[in-house]
Amino acid sequence: MTFGFAPSSAASLSAHAASAHRVLEPAEWAAAGIPLLRNPREVVNGLHARHRPGPATAVVAVLDPDERLCASASFTRRSAPADGWMFRNALLAQLRRVIPHDLRRRTPVRTAVLLYCREGDARWTEEDGAWMWGLRDACTLHGLRCGAYITLTRDGWQVLGEDRGGRRPSAGSAPEPVALAEAPARIPRTGGVASEVMRRAAAR
């Protein structure tokens, strides 16, 4: 009979340490089937221009199926050991603040991505693994698809798990003007007074 079996204190400590960290290794992240961004540079430029993240700043964003930004929020990470459970709670709190959940949908439609600005180079760290775990779990609890995890360092930006990145923007670069980071608004093609007003405004 195994009922009432109490593991040794050493085993308990080991299990507690493993659960406390809650990190995803790069291989686990790659095997999770994270959807690829069609235009990661555009997403990174847009979030960098809006939030201007500094070191230890996380930017969580929700994209619609056409990769248009639905909502985003940024916050600074507390100086504590990397723990996916804590990161999950912080991300979930931000998501709940800026956008309603999609838990009533059978299949997630919107996707959450995470941009994290940190020191060091673009290579995977245990802190990145904790953010990955936190993002995946927060998306599940908010009814979203788990999207890309992007690091922003002094070397530039990098989509972890993919061979895509760039030198600008970087952790030390000035953001591009929002007008350059976003597509210009389209002028309606319908006729009438509204179109004439828009044409006159555009000609000024």
Rounded to an integer, what distance in angstroms lies between the CA atom of residue 87 and that of residue 120?
Answer: 19
pLDDT reading at 178 higher than 90: no
Task: Report the pLDDT value the prediction gives residue 125, as an integer from 0 to 100.
Answer: 94
CA distance readout (Å), 89 to 86, 93, 127, 171: 5, 6, 15, 25
Task: Name the range with the highest mean pLDDT among 3-12, 21-30, 178-187.
Answer: 21-30
Q: What is the pLDDT of residues 68-87, one digit of tens each?
A: 999 999 999 988 888 999 99
* 132 closest CA partner among 167, 97, 91: 91
Q: What is the pLDDT of residues 107-131, one digit of tens each?
A: 999 999 999 999 998 899 999 999 9
Lowest mean pLDDT among 4-13, 32-41, 86-95: 4-13
Task: Report the pLDDT value the prediction gives residue 78, as an integer from 0 to 100.
Answer: 84
Lowest mean pLDDT among 17-26, 108-117, 155-164, 167-176: 17-26
Sequence-separated (6 or more) residues with CB below 8 Å from residue 180: 45, 49
Task: Report the pLDDT value the prediction gives residue 122, as an integer from 0 to 100.
Answer: 87
